Structure 1
Amino acid sequence: MELIHTFFNWEILVESFPILLRGLGNTIMLGCAAIFFGCIGGLILCLMRLYAPSWLRYLAIFYIDIFRALPILVVLILIYYALPLAGIRFTSFTSATIALSMVLAAFTAEVCRAGIENISKGQFEAASALGLSFWITMRKVILPQALKVVIPPLTSNCVSIYKDTSLASVVAMPDLLKQATDAQALMANPTPLIGAAIIYLAFLWPLVRLVSYLEERGKQQHSR
């Protein structure tokens, strides 16, 4: 009973729930912003790596390799704590968005590259024979087909980014984990952290199942 009273105190959970919901709202906004900018940046990096002049191609490869290797926490700390030394300051939300977007862009670029390279070269040749420009070919022929391949791993990366939003608490952004930590300190009880864990699970578990469904459907379509 003492364990339940300490870690699953219903009164404290109910009292802290509005605080946790505010943190959840910030977490969702942060995740959506990071995914939006990260996916756009990743597609641009992918096209640079595949079709840009050689110096831009090597620059894209360098970026992708670096940010796939760096932990998100290190990138976040550098942006929030190191850049002010150079006179560049961002809010905690902006810093977290930039850090998450930069890392996601690197992984998205590799996923998109694999998807585009999975398309037969005959598709490019057929589009060229029809007189389609490069950008129209990419937009109307290549990317719609590549999308079927990249959706499962891309969705998986997005789920990972939502989990990594918890790192924003390091720079005092009031996300779900930060609000739970503050509530724990205020109420002198770890129940708010358990509540945050339950909310993370309820929010992310359907997304994890969605990834599994997309992967299974992709396998079925590929086997036909």
Structure 2
Amino acid sequence: MPPWLQLMLDSLQPLLWAGLVFTIPLTLLSFTLGLALGLVVAIIRLFGPKPLVALVRFYVWVIRGTPLLVQLFVIFYGLPSLGILLDAFSAALIGFTLNVGAYTSEIIRAVISSVPRGQWEAAYSIGMSWSQAMRRTVLPQAARVAVPPLSNTFISLVKDTSLAAAITVPELFQAAQRIVATTYEPLILYIEVALIYLALSSVLSALQVRLERRFARYGGYLEART
């Protein structure tokens, strides 16, 4: 067996373990919390009072206008100067959540705005409150439109978690860096990591296609009912 192939096989188990223990949980938690944050921010942007609208617009402006790596450094290395100490995983989780929240808020705001005003009026005409109209009429229609961009955000987040290595989170990419430090074979290890990320992204892309088709059928069902 060629030495490079043996090295890749020997490295596969620790790399997959790092992905399973750190990369995947960090991705899922960050996206879930970020999506919830994005929904709140989007609703405030569309329907909130002016002071809150100004506050969340400032938050989105700052997050979208600065690099994610800088945000992680501010949280992990900067906050301790204010007496706020966070472990690496918590700092990464906060950083990714805030980042995802800002970007998904713009997606959610756009898809909610795309729902025709007549849908609101129809919901109010049958006695629904604002929250009922939002939950039962507007969000289901908006979700169908939001699936592609939100799925792309999730796939991008999987790859962006590699930045957590910069603040010492022992995820997939940092696991590769540690192996490189002992084997002195950066090209082989980094290609292996790239292949693992590529495999994950390919699986998620296939799931995205299936999810889009499912929502398309659901959308056709809603249109048939109306």
Give TM-score, length-normalised by structure 2: 0.89
Of 16-25 and 205-214, more deviation after overlay is shown by 205-214
| Aligned with residue 128 of structure 1, among 121, 124, 127 | 124
Q: Distance in 1 between matches of 2:110 and 2:126?
A: 25
Aligned to 1:199: 196
1:174 matched to 2:161: no
* Paired position in structure 2 for 1:67: 63
Aligned residues: 217
Q: What whole-Å deviation, never above 9, does each CA across 1:1-47 have from its counterpart, x for those lacking one?
A: xxx85xxx112112212210121111111100110111000000000
Residue correspondence of structure 1 range 151-166 to structure 2 within 5 A: 151-166=147-162
Q: Structure 2, unaligned stretches of length 5 or more?
A: 221-226
In the aligned structure 2, how far is the partner of 1:68 from the partner of 1:160? 15
More moved, 202-211 vs 86-95: 202-211
Q: Which residue of 2 aligns with 1:93?
A: 89
Equivalent residue for 1:11, pick from 1, 6, 11: 6
CA shift digits 1:113-146 (9 cap, x unpaired) = 1111111111111222222111111111110010
Retained in 1: the 8 A contact 2:144–2:216? no
Amino acid at match of 1:86: L
Give the stretch that moved more between structures: 188-197 or 158-167: 188-197
* Aligned match of 1:41: 37
Distance 1:95 1:22 in 2: 21
For residues 70 and 162 of structure 1, what CA distance do their matches in structure 2 show? Answer: 19
TM-score, normalised to structure 1, is 0.89
- CA separation in 2, counterparts of 1:195 and 1:144? 40
Residue 66 of structure 1, CA deviation: 1.5
Measured on the aligned residues, the alpha-carbon RMSD in Å equals 2.2
Any gaps of 5 or more consecutive residues in structure 1?
A: none
- Equivalent pair of 1:19/1:183 in contact (CA under 8 Å): no
Q: RCO (CA 8 Å, sep 6+): is it higher in 1 or 2?
A: 1
User: Is the alpha carbon distance of 1:153 and 1:137 closer, same or farther for their aligned partners in structure 2, counting shifts above 3 Å?
Assistant: same
* Aligned-partner residue type, residue 189 of structure 1: E
How far does the alpha carbon of each residue in 1:35-89 deviate from its partner, in whole angstroms, 9 at most, with x for none?
0111000000000000111111111111112211111101100000000110111
